[in-house]
Amino acid sequence: MTHVARRGWFSEVLPNGVQNRPRTLESNSNVLGLDTPEPNIEIETSPEHRNLTAGDPFCADWVRSPDDPGVQALRAELRTNNGIPDLEILDPGQIERAAELFHRDGFVVVGDALVGRRFDALREATETVIDDVLEVDPDASIGGGAGGLPHRYSFGMTSGSRHRLHDPAWVDVIDLPTTTPILTAIFGSTNYVVGGGGGDFALPGAIEYQGLHADNVWVEPYDPVGGITTRDMPVPVVTINFPMVDLTWENGPIRQIPGTQRSNDPIPTLEREPQWMKHSTVCPAPAGAAIIRDNRAWHGGTPNLSHDVRSLPNIEYYAPWFRSEGINRCMPYELWASLGEHEKRICRYVVCDKGETVIGAGFTHPRARDREAFIAKQLAGMEPDAGSNWWSRW
């Protein structure tokens, strides 16, 4: 396949994309999760991240170009300081150590988790999505994902189905011999379930830091005595990201703040975030590794100052005891029927009925209104009961 030649460093796209972003947020905490109201400014972001509206104030006067003095100064800083000191990259067989680090830090990195044909297929699938996005957003100005920044997108939110589990390449990495034993150790059970699949990618010239945040793909439990939040519970949701390229100091590695999965402290905004947190990135880490994350742990995207796209597709897993409206039926029955018994069982909440259409599958666009228009047209051509049945499953 021939992929789009120019991918990023579109100097005409202004920093942060939207110039009327607020600058005085108290914190990036988001206790409302999926109940977060629409932001007051128009940005393309996922529901649980609608509070991330501030953008990056430190690059507001830059030009999105490798030659900009601010970009050059940031490159020099990152070359020297970027990366978590003594980052452990485990072998897949180190199951107990992986679970130990996960519960201690809120994440763990396992090398050689995705190799061979599965890696090649997933990388090709991500390249196709990137092409589809750039075909309708050729200067990468729309952006999307957490915070709605230019040059940065969500694989899941750009899909009309909100996930990528209609794609065999994503489904093929749900149950890997390298990750399933670790998931079982983390959850203490094989009875976890798949909640979705997507991830994100950052184009070259994504000069903005994405604000630290947690992926609250839930609504906090109602506790009338105020005794508990999800941060007082065992891990509810685990996400595994698979880097499609080696993560380096310059190409936008994800940053993770160790030990924050149980923290009730306010998540700092970019204006208040200490510099060591900005440098707390998962690098160097090889392509095909598994970055296994507690969704509650503070994390965020970092600038991609390279000339390569940084892709991190993912699969989301919910604990045996945990459910959320974040799960929706997005996997074709025929694809589910081809899976092994363990995969079928853990995918039972995302599979559609036999003969049922996966609404929105195959349509990719970064703008929500375009996805919604496609879905409305698709539903209009279906039997009324089919459309009602689909809406009732969100």
CB atoms within 10 A of CB 332: 22
- Give the tens place of pLDDT for each residue, 251-282: 999 999 999 999 999 999 999 999 999 999 99
φ, ψ dihedrals at 48, nearest 5°: -75, -5
Output 120 or 22, whichever has higher pLDDT.
120
Span 313-334, average pLDDT: 94
φ, ψ dihedrals at 281, nearest 5°: -105, 150
Q: Within 13 Å and on the Cβ side, how many CA atoms surround 387?
A: 10
pLDDT band at residue 90 using 50, 70 and 90 as cut-offs? very high
pLDDT band at residue 390 using 50, 70 and 90 as cut-offs? low
pLDDT for 187: 98
Specify whether the CB–CB gap between 286 and 211 falls below 8 A: no
Specify whether the CB–CB gap between 245 and 176 falls below 8 A: no
b/e 363-386 (16+ beta carbons within 10 angstroms → b) = bbbbeeebbeebbeebbeeeeeee
- Give the tens place of pLDDT for each residue, 92-124: 999 999 999 999 999 999 999 999 999 999 999
15/76 Cα distance (integer angstroms): 20
pLDDT for 2: 46
Q: CATH number of 33-391: 1.10.10.10, 2.60.120.620, 3.40.50.720, 3.20.20.70? A: 2.60.120.620
- Give the tens place of pLDDT for each residue, 274-313: 999 999 999 999 999 999 999 999 999 999 999 999 999 9
pLDDT for 24: 67
Overall pTM > 0.75:
yes
b/e 157-189 (16+ beta carbons within 10 angstroms → b) = bbbbbbbbbbbebbbbbbbbebbbbbbebbbee
Summary mean pLDDT of the chain: 94
pLDDT band at residue 388 using 50, 70 and 90 as cut-offs? low
- Give the tens place of pLDDT for each residue, 191-200: 999 999 999 9
Is the predicted pLDDT of residue 4 greater than 60, yes or no?
no
Output 344 or 4, whichever has higher pLDDT.
344
Which tokens is 211 given? 């604000």
Q: Where are the domains of the chain?
A: 33-391
Is the predicted pLDDT of residue 392 greater than 60, yes or no?
no
pLDDT for 231: 94
